[in-house]
Amino acid sequence: MLDGIYIHIPFCMNKCNYCDFLSFKSNEEDRKKYVDYILKEIDLYPEYEYDTVYLGGGTPSLLNCDDVDRIVKRLKIKDGAEVTLEVNPKSVDLEKLRGFKKAGINRVSIGIQTFDDEMLKVLGRMHSSKEGIETYLQAREAGFENISLDLMFSLPNQSLEAVKSDLHRLLELRPEHFSIYSLIWEEGTPFFKKLEDGVYSETENELEAQMFEYIIDKAQEMGYIHYEISNFCLPNREARHNSKYWENKEYLGIGLGASGYVDKKRYKNQVQISKYYDTIDKREIPILESEFVDLDSKEQYKYMLGFRLLKKGVVPSEKYLKKCLELKEKGFLYRVEEHFLLTRKGIMLANDVLDEFI
Ligand SMILES: C[S@@+](CC[C@H](N)C(=O)[O-])C[C@H]1O[C@@H](n2cnc3c(N)ncnc32)[C@H](O)[C@@H]1O
Ligand code: SF4
């Protein structure tokens, strides 16, 4: 039975220059109204109990503690559940973090991105490096024992030395978990425009590979497990909610533009707020589009997602065994009993390997 829920909070103080997530500016009243509708949408799915809850965005930490409390209280949550909230440094202080903890949040994921103040400005972030570190320390003080940090690399004109310095500063903080994303040049963002205009250029493949290899080696040397292509953790601190995505499990997606996977259907919610509200007013599920996942496409998702899990990999069906053996011969996969897993070469060229299964 499905037991994971993602709740999208589409509000940000300001749009970062690289980001195309569904988010916009809001005031206190907009946010309160939105949470009212989130509660109504949750009530449309009375049958589920949750072992993982993920409030993502946008910037869920822009919500006040009462609104977070209202959401958490509305959910049937199992004992020992992981309840995560994404935090942007500029939107919280110690008191607010304590309030989130009291509301039942037991894991925070903080968007640090980089510790370089000049680069933070280039990214369009509202916080300084010092404020990012303060937020991490305040989260500890508020009693969070499970903290994840987000970092980005392969940023415009970024050097290998700058990436090393960012990683060292992150590792000094010793979070239980961190995610590290190489920049994606998303169409429609100010970054993409600058790329088109020739102001920025993409990082050379070779340099980006050096950055990533350094990150993997250093993180492992410092005791972190590289358990997913972009994710590292201390022992037993894997992101339990996100792991459900990679394990191809069903989960509920709530909120504007949220994606979900329920009853063999992958769906996306309405992306226009007025349509989202209107549909919920009619007590209907606010789905914009959905795709039935038949056995063949479920199988494809199994490889596309499963190979991302670097310690588990995939046990192929007979149909794909030959393909896996071929990729093993080419050095992209290795085999442990029935499981096939990405090698270092496979990790570096993961997109090409995963494309083989489409
Ligand atoms: C939805 S954001 C949520 C965190 C929070 N809104 C913040 O930015 O502090 C999740 C993460 O996605 C990453 N991200 C967003 N846009 C990206 C892009 N274009 N390329 C690579 N990573 C990106 C950032 O590291 C960000 O922290
Ligand atoms: S990166 Fe985070 S804070 Fe910045 S616009 Fe995207 S969702 Fe909002």
356: Cβ contacts below 8 Å, ≥ 6 apart: 323, 327
Assign a CATH topology to domain 4-246: TIM Barrel (3.20.20)
113: Cβ contacts below 8 Å, ≥ 6 apart: 119, 120, 123, 125, 132, 150, 151, 152
Q: Report pLDDT for 56.
A: 98
Quick one: which atom of ligand 2 is closest to the CA of 88?
Answer: 3
Ligand closest to CA 150: 1
For the chain, give the number of residues: 358
pTM: 0.97
pLDDT mean for each 10 residues of the chain (358 residues): 97 96 96 98 97 97 98 98 97 97 98 98 97 98 98 98 98 98 97 97 97 98 98 98 97 98 98 98 98 95 96 95 96 97 97 91
Query: 239 CB less than 6 Å from ligand 1?
Result: no
Query: 186 CB less than 6 Å from ligand 1?
Result: yes
Token pair of 316 as six digits: 């192929």
Q: Report pLDDT for 358.
A: 84
CA of 154 relative to ligand 1 center, distance in Å: 14
Rounded distance, CA 73 to CA 81, Å? 13
CA of 289 relative to ligand 1 center, distance in Å: 24
Contact 12, 259 (CB under 8 A): no
Contact 178, 146 (CB under 8 A): no
Q: Give the number of C-alpha atoms closer than 13 A to the C-alpha of residue 314, restricted to the C-beta side.
A: 28
> Which residue is closest in CA terms to ligand 1's atom 16?
19
Ligand closest to CA 16: 2
Helix (H) or strand (E) holding 171: helix 160-173
CA of 323 relative to ligand 1 center, distance in Å: 34
Nearest alpha-carbon partner for 351 in 180, 191, 220, 230: 230
Helix (H) or strand (E) holding 77: strand 77-87
Ligand closest to CA 6: 1
> Which residue is closest in CA terms to ligand 2's atom 4?
16
CATH 3.20.20.70 location in the chain: 4-246
CA of 12 relative to ligand 1 center, distance in Å: 12
> Which residue is closest in CA terms to ligand 1's atom 8?
111
Token pair of 235 as six digits: 């022992």
24: DSSP letter: B
- Cis ω before 255 (30° cut-off from 0): no
Nearest alpha-carbon partner for 225 in 352, 311, 143: 311
Unique residue bearing structure tokens 């492992």: 220
Quick one: which atom of ligand 2 is closest to the CA of 12?
Answer: 8
CA of 328 relative to ligand 1 center, distance in Å: 33
